[in-house]
Amino acid sequence: MIANKAVMKTLILGLGNPILGDDSIGWKVVEQVKLLSSESLDSNQIDGKRTQRFLEFECYAVGGISLMENLIGYDHVWIIDAIHTDRYPIGTLVCKKLDDFKDIPFGHLTSAHDMSLQTALELGRSIGADLPAEINIIGIETDIQFEFSDELSEPLRKTFPKVVNQVMHLIQQEANNDLS
């Protein structure tokens, strides 16, 4: 449960390259979820105080320190991104907390230009940045081919409506849990 605040800001963040085929699935899902959601998802009573939860939607093609900078000021963040594990059918959602991921790239190459998100968050927190305590990751299984296109592959396109519904359900469910 997130701390009792008068206003809680939740960020629904689509990650990926919007012109790299299935890598854009995070963007496309978030754009659709935004269309289907109202700006203020709901209001709830907590300990007799009224708490309003605001949803914001963004899509970025960044990682590491840039990503961390864009998470400042939010209480709760959902990152929706493409994954490629070869372990699940295309369109399968894999849900984890960021803390479930091992911070492997410590000191090395998440990128030649950047740092891991975990390292960036630690950097941000060390200087007092107002960063979310919890970050949820929704990975969507894809078969990324690294070929430029602004369209999804046929298998992913077919599962797209279901993926959007599942993501909306997950976010709503988590919101209810947070505020219960």
Partner 1 sequence: MDAPLKRITIDPITRLEGHGKIEIFLNEEGDVANTYFQIPELRGFEQFCVGRPVEEMAILTNRICGVCPEAHHMAAAKAADAVYKVEIPPTAKKLRELLYSGFYFTDHTTHFYALAGPDFVMGPNAPVSERNILGVIHKVGLEIGGKVIQARKNGHAIVEMIGGRKIHPCTSIPGGLTKGITEEQRQEIEKIGYWAVDFALFSLQLFNDIVLGNKEYVDLILGNTYLHETYSMGMVDENDKVNFYDGKISIVAPDGERIGKYAPAEYQEWIAERVEPWTYLKFPYLKKVGWKGFVDGKDSGVYMATPLSRLNASNGMTTPRAQAEYEKFYATLVPGKPQVVHHRLAIHWARLIELLYAAERIVELATDPEITSPDFHRIPTATPTEGVGIVEAPRGTLTHHYWTDERGIVTKVNLIVGTTNNYAPISMSIKKAAETLIHRGTIVTEGMLNMVEMAFRAYDPCFGCATHSLPGQMPLEVIIRDAEGRPLKTLSQFC
Q: Does 81 bind partner 1 (CB under 8 A)?
A: yes
In this complex, which beta carbon is closest to partner 1, that of residue 93 or of residue 115? 115
Q: Is 138 in the site for partner 1 (CB under 8 A)?
A: no
Distance of CA 37 to the CA centre of its chain: 16
Contact 64, 119 (CB under 8 A): yes
Least Å distance, CB 164 to partner 1, is 19
Give the other-Cβ count within 10 Å of 71's Cβ: 21
Q: What is the rounded CA–CA span in Å between residue 14 and residue 168?
A: 13
- Scanning the structure block, which residue is given the tokens 């959602």? 93
Residue 134 carries which side chain, given as an amino acid letter? E
- Residue of 19, 43, 73, 162 interacting with partner 1 (CB under 8 A): 19
The nearer residue to partner 1, 34 or 52, going by C-beta atoms, is: 34
Closest CB 85 distance from partner 1, rounded Å: 10
7: contact with partner 1 by CB under 8 A: no
Judged by beta carbon, residue 52 or residue 57, the one nearer partner 1 is 57
AA letter at 156: L
Q: Where are the beta strands (DSSP E) in 61-110?
A: 76-83, 93-97
Q: How many CB atoms lie within 10 A of CB 67?
A: 20
Q: Is 23 in the site for partner 1 (CB under 8 A)?
A: yes
Q: At what angle do helices 25-36 and 154-179 cross, to 10 degrees?
A: 50
Contact segment (CB under 8 A) with partner 1 among 32-40, 55-63, 153-161, 171-179 equals: 55-63
Q: Does 61 bind partner 1 (CB under 8 A)?
A: yes
Interface contacts to partner 1, rule CB under 8 A: 15-20, 23, 60-67, 69, 81-83, 98, 101-119, 122-124, 126-127, 129, 137, 139, 144-150
